[in-house]
Amino acid sequence: MSLPDFAPNSLSDPADAETPFHASKGLTGLKIIVAGGFGAGKTTLVSAVSEIKPLTTEEALTTASTRHDSLTGVESKATTTVAFDFGRITLPVQAVQLHLYGTPGQPRFHRFWHGLSQGALGAVVLADTRRLADSFPSVAYFEHRLPFVVAVNEFDDARYRYTPDEVRTALQLAPRVPVLRCDAREVRSARTLLLTLVEHALAAARSTYPDLQRAQS
């Protein structure tokens, strides 16, 4: 499968196209994991870019939960994902859908990651520079399991701004791992991030399985 040549609004509502996409056949679904630390913006990203009403499993933070989940740097956070988020984006050009699964960020929920990651094409790791160390568990988990990209979600109240190279050094990322800035609230920014991941994951697959490249030639 080759990476589609996306039009500027290719992640918008498929109903806007001249031919209703959902009436077509041969739909290909690609599973994408959206991971990262507590409060890094996973639910925000899935909700912002999903063409359907996203499924979320957010619950209110309680006094009991804050004993386990530090709010340092994210004091305004009032809810948290306790299972997973789900959203979907249709790519009209080549009959592709991205199925987005947002993971819970806290270590006590990491047991969900393995099941969610089964069959995934790749993962997005959202990094919050207010709590950059929270990105390490996601990086360590996906490093030997799935192709992934690191997205620096630049919050308005972050005290410092870091370049992608600085984040790469801080997280000790391999040169092959793409690192880019994003705003999880913005559809265009999230779209660029997801396209980068798909391109990276497909390139990794072709490198690992040369026969795949020959079959597509």
Highest mean pLDDT: which range of 39-53, 78-92, 106-120, 168-182:
168-182
Asked if CATH classification 3.40.50.300 holds for the domain at 14-216, the reply, yes or no, is yes
So what's the pLDDT on residue 16? 37
Q: Note the Cα 160 to chain centre separation in Å.
A: 23
Q: Which two tokens stand for residue 50?
A: 């999903």
C-alpha 34/C-alpha 49 separation (Å) is 12
pLDDT in tens, 147-176: 999 999 887 766 677 889 999 999 999 999
C-alpha 63/C-alpha 84 separation (Å) is 22
pTM value surpassing 0.95: no
* Residue 115 CB contacts under 8 Å (≥ 6 apart), including other chains: none
Q: Where are the domains of the chain?
A: 14-216
